[in-house]
Amino acid sequence: MALLKVTNLKVWFHTRNGVVKAVDDVSFSVDAGQTLGIVGESGSGKSVCCYSLVDLIPKPPGKIEGGTALFNGEDLLTCSAQRMGEIRGNDIAVIFQDPMTCLNPYLTVGEQLIEPLLYHRGIKRPEARLQAIDILNEVGITNPERRFNSYPHELSGGMRQRVMIAMALIAEPKLIICDEPTTALDVTIQAQILKLLRELQQKRQVAVIFITHDLAVVSEVANDVLVMKNGKVVERGTTAELFANPKEEYTQKLIAAIPSGVKPLTESVPKATPLLEVNHLRTWFRDYSVGLFSSAALKLERNIKAVDDVSLTIQRREILGVVGESGSGKSTLGRAILGLAPRTAGQIIYDGQDITQYSARQMKPLRRKMQMIFQDPYASLNPRMTIFETLAEPLLVHGLANRKTVTAQVLELMDDVGLARAYIRKYPHEFSGGQRQRIAIGRAIATKPEFIVADEPVSALDVTIQAQILDLILELVNKHNLTMMFISHDLGVVRYIADRVLVLHRGKVEEQGITEELWAAPQADYTKKLLGAIPRFANAGM
Amino acid sequence: MLKFFFTRLLQAIPVLLVVITVTFFLVRLAPGGPFDAEKAVPPEVLKALEANYRLDLPVWQQYTSYVGDLVTGDFGPSFRYPGRSVNELIMAGLPASAELGLYALLVALVIGTLAGIIASLRPNTAQDYIPMSTAMIGICMPSFLLGPLLVLVFGIWLDWLPISGWGDMPGDKILPSITMGAGYAAYIARLSRGGMLEVLSQDYIRTARAKGLPERVIIFKHALRGGLIPVIAFLGPAFAGLLSGSFVVETIFQIPGLGRFFVQAAFNRDYTMIMGTTVFFAFLIVLFNLLSDVIAVWINPRLRHQAQGGH
């Protein structure tokens, strides 16, 4: 008998704008020791589906409309609140996506860790502490006695996620629900966490439900896969079968949308004309925890070297990919080049002019030519401006349009980025993430720039949307002869879009080279580690 | 932590100095003087008075000598209560005001936080609306209305409690404390509801639920600390206000507190008394703001760490 058997689960949200069928007639089962992957894009209902099993959805507006979820023969959907408390503390654990926000910042790690033991097993504190230290050790936290008394903010993202895993394991549950447990983490940390989860699962024979949008991750961890879209199951099957031979069109589209392969080399790159040259650029920030009266040498040593001696050149019409993990300084590098972050030392030559010491007034004519696209299309658009206002503003500010021509120019821009003309008077909140990023791109190319810094432009987007936006960027680069610095933590994306790649680690350049050469034969150890950590399809030979 | 405390204490000095300077010159700019009376005072008497209170000196010398006295903790003699110093007058009124303020604060804290927490547990239901609309009324109702109302109901109709006095009869401290605390209780209720709602929607509360913790542990152990931070920030200025007395409440209930000095001093152009009460009030505000900041830092491990100079 399956450990968990969900039949015809229906979860609806009764909102002011009508009923949203978040989960609509979903059935699946999981056996002990097995992993079920649930894949889908945002809004597919994959998380709601699992949270409703352990009564973690907001009610109201959420309501379970039908179905059963038999866990060891007991229906989770109808059991009492008290019984659910016992089940959550003893049998089913959840690992959430974002370890930064899912641990209580006011309590020590140890205190949060031993809570299931204190409140469900009646174990006394000293003994619970020993068990917690054991389990911290098991999930690979060094110096667990000390970490037991740490607060969450003293730990890195990867360590916090290990703590979350330890917290899930400490009550020895039979089923663990993992909701995007590695999405917020860097690729090397992700590889470690996935390995850890696999080992622990085999050792303890627990069942795992692994929710993710990342197909490659699922192919690494799951035995069976369930593909969801708009609350319904699209396709199910064993992992090997489903990836080798996807039957449904949506599944095929999902798999195809993963950026794969390399950009064909643009043959027409004239070698001799670099558009941008950066020499020995440094951006250091003061560490304000160093006392005011400390010696100058200590202050210097404790400076945060976000960008440390970086040199690079970008040829005209070239896309330079900048990859690195969080904290590698890749965003600061992009901002410092545009003058949006301070520069401590170094030289920036743009189109033959040394712009390092330019004043704001001298920069103004160049601002038009140098633009930026930001990561989060939700935060970077002014919510009180219509698309028309957003796109017209840069045109008017830089005197590229007058009152008469501006509407026509904005419509042209909207055509360029693939937005329907009818949307011109709408506000950002009326658009999806992908559409918003199109608006943001439209704003960046409005002034007919030569050079664009794109800072993680697709990482907030779903995989199918991501593919569309990447293709849009490539199309625009060709059409408008753009030169681009493309910053991303996602190596697949960079490989897909960039002509050359620069690998950044702790503010320093580890390696740079033609994309495909670097992939084929990475020189630096760090690059090798980074490339080795990418999850690959077990069978599809990516 | 100590370093943080002393740095903040040093920062308070310029704040106080600005308050002193501005008040000093403002009261002298206002028309009228301490010895203006309906009946003209003979010039030689006026001269003697002014010499006695150093009012014959140029204003800047008055200022420097006043600041000089302040540094030694001397607020100077009162202009309208001959033979008594401002220090004496403040010390005479302070005990009653401070006691009243303390009780009022307790009333405000207990009722306010409880109401706020209860309301936040079931937002947008009767359990939320009832305490919150009561709080709204509490904020809107001035103490010169609430005080007499309470006196009427509990003092006269029900005859449970004395209607005025301070320490003369058992229970005569209850009504003034409630009158004074009610507005603050209402404010604290709204703040703690907001804070709790914010915290209860955090991901880490969901984590706590996912661990199957009992509801009381979730509320009191996981949510309360973060939820009360806005209240703590409010407590500093609130406590200073409560301690320095209330003219209205003290008048209604005949309490020999500080509040009346504020008002009388202004009417009488009692320069040193105005200065004394203002500086004293400013000092309390600075002090209690500092204390509430220290508590906020101490509660939040993140800030505590920074204050200790680690990272």
**Domain boundary pick from A241, A257, A273:** A257
Q: Is A503 domain-assigned?
A: no
Instruction: Give mean pLDDT, residues B108-130.
Output: 90
Q: Is A542 domain-assigned?
A: no
Domain coordinates in residue numbering, chain B? 93-259+285-307
Q: In chain B, which residue's Cα lies nearest the Cα of A119?
A: B213
Q: Per-residue pLDDT for A538 more than 50?
A: no
Question: Quick one: CA torsion of A490, A493, A498, A502, rounded to 10 degrees?
Answer: 10
Percent of the residues in chain A that have a pLDDT greater than 90, as a whole number:
23
Q: Is A213 domain-assigned?
A: yes
The dihedral through the CA atoms of B123, B126, B130, B136 has a sign that is positive
Instruction: Tell whether A250 lies on the interface with B, counting CB pairs under 8 A.
Output: no
Q: Would you say A529 and A513 are in contact if contact means Cβ atoms under 8 Å apart?
A: no
Q: Would you say B273 and B265 are in contact if contact means Cβ atoms under 8 Å apart?
A: yes
B7 to chain A: which residues are within 8 Å by CB? none
Q: Per-residue pLDDT for A418 more than 80?
A: yes
* Beta-carbon separation of A154 and B305 below 8 A: yes
Nearest to B242 by CA among B176, B151, B167, B152: B176
Considering the domain architecture, whether residues A186 and A167 belong to the same structural domain is answered as no
pTM of the model as a whole: 0.75
pLDDT-derived band of residue A294, with 50, 70 and 90 as boundaries? low
Considering the domain architecture, whether residues A211 and A68 belong to the same structural domain is answered as yes
Selecting from A89, A106, A116 the residue whose C-beta is nearest the C-beta of B301 gives A106
Instruction: Give mean pLDDT, residues A26-34.
Output: 91
Note the pLDDT of residue A541.
36
Instruction: Give mean pLDDT, residues B49-62.
Output: 81
Q: Per-residue pLDDT for A185 more than 80?
A: no
Tokens of B233: 């920030």
* Beta-carbon separation of A153 and B305 below 8 A: yes
Q: Per-residue pLDDT for A485 more than 70?
A: yes
pLDDT-derived band of residue A131, with 50, 70 and 90 as boundaries? very high
pLDDT digits (tens, 9 = 90+) for A252-291: 888 887 776 666 655 555 555 788 999 999 988 776 655 5
Query: A217: domain CATH number?
Result: 3.40.50.300
Q: Is A198 domain-assigned?
A: yes
Tokens of B78: 């009162």
Chain length of chain A? 542
Q: Is A434 domain-assigned?
A: no
pLDDT digits (tens, 9 = 90+) for A12-26: 988 887 888 889 999
Note the pLDDT of residue B311.
40
What CA–CA distance (Å, rounded) separates A87 from A96? Answer: 17
Give A177's DSSP letter: E
pLDDT-derived band of residue A301, with 50, 70 and 90 as boundaries? low
Considering the domain architecture, whether residues A67 and A21 belong to the same structural domain is answered as yes
Q: Is A466 domain-assigned?
A: no
Residues whose CB falls within 8 Å of the CB of residue B308, separated by 6 or more in sequence, listed in order = B1, B4
Q: Per-residue pLDDT for A83 more than 70?
A: yes
pLDDT-derived band of residue B114, with 50, 70 and 90 as boundaries? very high
Angular region, A23: left φ>0, alpha ψ -120 to 50, beta rest: beta
Cis ω before A61 (30° cut-off from 0) = yes
pLDDT digits (tens, 9 = 90+) for B156-211: 898 888 888 787 778 888 888 999 998 899 999 999 999 999 999 888 999 999 99
Instruction: Tell whether A180 lies on the interface with B, counting CB pairs under 8 A.
Output: no
Q: Would you say B256 and B96 are in contact if contact means Cβ atoms under 8 Å apart?
A: yes
Which of these ranges, A104-113, A124-133, A260-269, A413-422, has the smallest mean pLDDT?
A: A260-269
Q: Tell me what ipTM this predicted complex has.
A: 0.75
Nearest to A322 by CA among A172, A505, A529: A505
Residue where the block lists tokens 């040199």:
A311
pLDDT digits (tens, 9 = 90+) for A349-374: 998 888 888 888 888 888 888 998 88
CATH code for the part of the protein at B93-259+285-307: 1.10.3720.10
Considering the domain architecture, whether residues A163 and A182 belong to the same structural domain is answered as no
Q: Would you say A45 and A12 are in contact if contact means Cβ atoms under 8 Å apart?
A: no
The whole domain housing A74 covers 4-91+174-257
Considering the domain architecture, whether residues A109 and A222 belong to the same structural domain is answered as no
Residue type, A114: I
**Domain boundary pick from A198, A228, A257:** A257
**Residue B80: CB atoms within 10 Å:** 17
B92 SS3 class: helix
**Domain boundary pick from A172, A195, A223:** A172
Instruction: Give mean pLDDT, residues A179-199.
Output: 82
Residue B205: enclosing H or E segment and its boundaries? helix B203-210
Considering the domain architecture, whether residues A161 and A185 belong to the same structural domain is answered as no
Average pLDDT taken over every residue of chain B: 85
Considering the domain architecture, whether residues A63 and A181 belong to the same structural domain is answered as yes
Considering the domain architecture, whether residues A58 and A183 belong to the same structural domain is answered as yes
SS3 content of chain A, % helix, strand, coil (to 5): 40, 25, 35
Q: Per-residue pLDDT for A540 more than 50?
A: no
Q: In chain A, which residue's Cα lies nearest the Cα of B206?
A: A56
Q: In chain B, which residue's Cα lies nearest the Cα of A287?
A: B311
Note the pLDDT of residue A265.
57
pLDDT digits (tens, 9 = 90+) for B227-272: 988 998 898 888 888 887 788 888 888 888 888 777 888 787 788 8
pLDDT-derived band of residue A539, with 50, 70 and 90 as boundaries? very low
Q: Per-residue pLDDT for A59 more than 70?
A: yes
Q: Is A207 domain-assigned?
A: yes
Q: Per-residue pLDDT for A295 more than 80?
A: no
Query: Number of folded domains in chain A?
Result: 2
Q: In chain B, which residue's Cα lies nearest the Cα of A108?
A: B301
Shortest distance between the Cα of B98 and any Cα of chain A, in A, equals 33
Tokens of A141: 């936290």
Note the pLDDT of residue A367.
86
Instruction: Give mean pLDDT, residues B140-167.
Output: 86
Instruction: Tell whether A492 lies on the interface with B, counting CB pairs under 8 A.
Output: no
Considering the domain architecture, whether residues A117 and A236 belong to the same structural domain is answered as no
Considering the domain architecture, whether residues A165 and A232 belong to the same structural domain is answered as no
Instruction: Give mean pLDDT, residues B19-42.
Output: 79
Selecting from B206, B302, B310 the residue whose C-beta is nearest the C-beta of A105 gives B302
Average pLDDT taken over every residue of chain A: 86
Instruction: Give mean pLDDT, residues A38-54.
Output: 88
Selecting from A115, A167, A291 the residue whose C-beta is nearest the C-beta of B309 gives A291
Note the pLDDT of residue A359.
84
* Beta-carbon separation of A101 and B225 below 8 A: no
Q: Per-residue pLDDT for B70 more than 60?
A: yes
Residue where the block lists tokens 């401006």:
A385
Phi, psi at B48, each rounded to 5°:
-65, -40
Q: Is A398 domain-assigned?
A: no
Considering the domain architecture, whether residues A121 and A218 belong to the same structural domain is answered as no
